[in-house]
Amino acid sequence: MRKHRDHRLPYAATVSVMGALLIAVVLVSFLLGRYPVQPGELAGILASRVFPVEPFWQETAELVVFNIRLPRVLIACMVGCCLSAAGASYQGAFQNPMAAPDILGASSGAAFGAALAILLGLPSFAITLLAFVSSLVCVGVVIFVSNHARGKKVLGLVLSGIMISSLFSSGTSFIKLVADPNNQLPAITYWLMGSLSGVKQGDVLFAFVPMFIGCLALVLLRWRVNVLTLGDDEARTMGVNAGRVRFIVILASTLITAASVSVSGMIGWVGLVIPHLARRLVGNNYRHLMPASMLLGAIFLLIVDNICRNLLMTEIPLGILTSLVGAPFFIYLITREHERY
């Protein structure tokens, strides 16, 4: 058996580089857009919130930085962080490298709720709220069905997720069928492709609490996810209740997935691609993998969002670009039969 030499950097150095890269990408993101903001102006605008600085910039630039770009940058980082963390957690909990954040129907449920809200003509905040509630309802139905299924619990949970997801997807398709083709249908279709163009400060506040609770739980339990990857019998010998830990990990992952999808729409592949890239950098130990996945996910989605809003005159939906990256990676992943995670 051929041995592979480990060329990875030390974990602390890798995380430090990721943190510095994230800060750099965040700062660059404030400069990019239809309205130009110069680096000196950005430095002055940001410093003015801490120190008394005589304004040498236009008021419009300050409004663009704080009211338009800041919420979008924050949501991009939060959604990328959460989807990647959820993907890594699902892969560990289900012991399946192909597991993704929408495996329990969180995305399908959110899509149904958002489509229904658009059909009813509700305001943007209500669309976000109904998407979030519908996502949790969908996952709740999945868990209820899986608890009454025979056979292995994990397999029953996955199969229930596939079944309930298809039902909610059918409901979304029916809503698209009866929606007004001039106004409602384009809005539903655009939401399903994923975008951060309409993000407001209220969306940041709405998503922060469930995202923080879910991510905190995953960070605190990350060493127990290592035990889950060894199997339930091994976990039991180490004094870990595998069923309880798996339930909490799945619940926390679903919570942050629902919050992410409710504010950003359907953004696929992030939860599949980024955890595997993080494994290349820091290894399989979830004590290192979870923080690395969160940082890398935030960096990735923020870069993708910058490309989507600046590449063309018309903004590209996020889901399109993440699919262009994720689909080839998925093909590469399933053809690497000797890889084991």
CA distance 147 to 300: 36
Per-residue pLDDT tens digits for 275-306? 999 998 999 999 999 999 999 999 999 999 99
Residue 307 has pLDDT above 80, yes or no: yes
What's the confidence (pLDDT) of residue 334? 66
Does residue 341 sit within a domain? no
Q: Number of folded domains in the chain? A: 1
Residue 340 has pLDDT above 70, yes or no: no
- Which residues, other chains included, contact 48 with Cβ-Cβ below 8 Å and sequence gap of 6+? 55, 62
Does residue 236 sit within a domain? yes
* CB of 139 closer than 8 Å to CB of 163: no
* CB of 137 closer than 8 Å to CB of 130: no
CA distance 260 to 266: 9
* CB of 134 closer than 8 Å to CB of 112: yes
Residue 1 banded pLDDT, cuts 50, 70, 90:
very low
How confident is the prediction for the chain on average, in pLDDT?
89
Residue 158 has pLDDT above 80, yes or no: yes
Q: What is the DSSP letter of 50?
A: T
Query: Model pTM?
Result: 0.91
Does residue 1 sit within a domain? no
Matching residue, tokens 């490309």: 307
What's the confidence (pLDDT) of residue 336? 67
Does residue 337 sit within a domain? no
Per-residue pLDDT tens digits for 111-153? 999 999 999 999 988 999 999 999 999 999 998 998 888 777 7
| Dihedral-angle region of residue 32 (phi above 0 means left; psi in -120 to 50 means alpha; beta otherwise) | beta
Name the least confident of 90-99, 185-194, 278-287, 331-340. Answer: 331-340
Does residue 2 sit within a domain? no
Per-residue pLDDT tens digits for 169-181? 999 999 999 999 9
User: Which structure tokens are listed for 257?
Assistant: 């997935």
What's the confidence (pLDDT) of residue 97? 80
What's the confidence (pLDDT) of residue 335? 74
- Which residues, other chains included, contact 120 with Cβ-Cβ below 8 Å and sequence gap of 6+? none
Does residue 75 sit within a domain? yes
Sign of the torsion angle spanned by Cα atoms 215, 160, 142, 224: negative
Tell me the CB-side half-sphere exposure of residue 68, using CA atoms within 13 A.
Answer: 17
Domain that holds residue 250: 11-331
CA distance 261 to 249: 18
First-last CA distance in the chain: 17
Quote the percentage of the chain above a pLDDT of 90: 62
Matching residue, tokens 């580089």: 17
DSSP conformation letters of 264-331: H----SHHHHHHHHHHHHH-S-HHHHHHHHHHHHHHHHHHHHHHHHHSSSSPPPHHHHHHHHHHHHHH
What number is the average pLDDT over the span 317-332?
Answer: 84
What's the confidence (pLDDT) of residue 9? 77
Residue 333 banded pLDDT, cuts 50, 70, 90:
low
Does residue 163 sit within a domain? yes
- Which residues, other chains included, contact 341 with Cβ-Cβ below 8 Å and sequence gap of 6+? 91, 97, 276, 279, 284
CA distance 247 to 256: 14
For residue 180, the domain's CATH number is 1.10.3470.10
Does residue 340 sit within a domain? no
Name the least confident of 143-147, 215-219, 327-331. Answer: 327-331
